[in-house]
Amino acid sequence: MSPVDSESAAPAAPDLGADAPAAPHRHFMVHKPFGYLSQFVADLKKKKVLGALHDFPPGTMAIGRLDEHSEGLLLLTTDGKMSEQVRSKKVEKEYYAQVDGLITDEAVAQLEQGVEIGIRHEKYQTLPCRAFRLDEAPDFPARTRKIRDDRHGPTSWVSITLTEGKNRQIRKMTAAVGFPTLRLLRVRVGALELGALTAGEVREVADFSLPA
């Protein structure tokens, strides 16, 4: 999801003080809005980047990525070791996906068992994960770009929790079971939750809570 669920580290903000004494590492939670890239530099000037949301310190990097059309919790840090820890398969990442149609119990079970998707022109079997249908739509504000007109049929929401992060994985998984993703938000990374963070809001935290 550029990779939505890709756990590769995004390019860091320019480090303008490389020769200065090392400052304490800093960590941030961000609600990445729709239409923003999970990076600080873009090839095209019209693209929106993270630096437009906050004055981050030099060397700040996004931990994993959300693609331009995906939203939700994005963690940023100046600590490369912390980035590696959070991107590991020991840390869960939970997503809420709004899908086209009323997702069935059978489709949810397929997601949990793992499905075959394409990664770089090769077939890949996703690992077993946790998935369940949300009985009610989550209370997120409307997206800045309308999802679609209601006359095109019903939609539904599903929670999917992964410990891996392949390129556009969630979108490919729901499409593989017949329910393409229309809107995607990451709501949790490890013990950190999106919670009441509003789109574009940045919160500095002392550290990231990780599983033992």
DSSP secondary structure code for residue 64 in this structure: S
Q: Is 139 exposed, middle or buried (0-12, 13-18, 19+ CB in 10 A)?
A: exposed
Catalytic residue among 5, 67, 79, 100: 67
Q: Taking Cα atoms as reference points, which of 157, 161, 156, 158 lies closest to residue 188?
A: 161
Give the CA-trace dihedral at 107, 111, 115, 118, to 10 degrees: 100
DSSP secondary structure code for residue 56 in this structure: P
DSSP, collapsed to helix, strand or coil, labels residue 28 as strand
Active site residue 67: yes
Give the other-Cβ count within 10 Å of 93's Cβ. 25
Give Cα separations from 69 to 4, 82, 111 (angstroms): 8, 26, 22
Backbone dihedral region for residue 76 (phi beyond 0: left; psi -120 to 50: alpha; all else: beta): beta
Supply the residues annotated as catalytic.
Answer: 67
